[in-house]
């Protein structure tokens, strides 16, 4: 069972990749397996989450097989 984390903007630099396959499970358990600076950056209150292409406010997520969770830092576009 695996899920995918997607890192946008500077979070991809911090993660060293734009995507990471992880075993499914509770997000807090998944984040505990990541390097601490990355996990802290992902939990910054300005970072929004999108689960399978939909913005979600809930942070206590459980990721199942095939789920894609994107971490969206503040936008700076246009």
Partner 1 sequence: MAADVRLCLTPFDPALEQAQFARAHPQAGGVVSFLGQVRQDGEVQALELQHYAPLTLPGMQALGDATLARWPLDGLLILHRSGVMVPGDPIVLVAAAARHRRDAFAAADYAMDHLKSESWFWKREQRGGEWRWIEPRAEDHADKARWAN
Asked if residue 37 lies in contact with residue 14, where contact means CB atoms within 8 angstroms, the answer is yes
Is 73 a binding residue for partner 1 by CB under 8 A? The answer is yes
Beta bridge partners of 54: 51
Taking the C-alpha atoms of residue 45 and residue 17, their distance in angstroms, rounded to an integer, is: 22
Question: Which of residues 14 and 33 has its CB atom nearest to partner 1 in the complex?
Answer: 14
Considering only 21, 36, 53, 65, the residue that binds partner 1 (CB under 8 A) is 53
CB of 10 to partner 1, least distance (A): 4
Taking the C-alpha atoms of residue 59 and residue 42, their distance in angstroms, rounded to an integer, is: 11
Where do contacts with partner 1 occur on this chain (CB under 8 A)? 6, 8-10, 12-13, 50, 52-53, 55, 68, 70, 72-78
């Amino acid at each position: 069972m695996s899920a995918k984390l997607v890192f946008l903007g500077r979070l991809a630099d911090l993660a060293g990749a734009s995507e990471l396959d992880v075993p499914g499970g509770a997000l807090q358990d998944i984040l505990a397996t990541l390097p601490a600076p990355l996990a802290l950056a992902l939990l910054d209150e300005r970072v929004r989450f999108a689960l399978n292409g939909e913005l979600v406010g809930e942070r206590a997520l459980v990721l199942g097989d095939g789920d894609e969770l994107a971490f969206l830092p503040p936008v700076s576009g246009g």
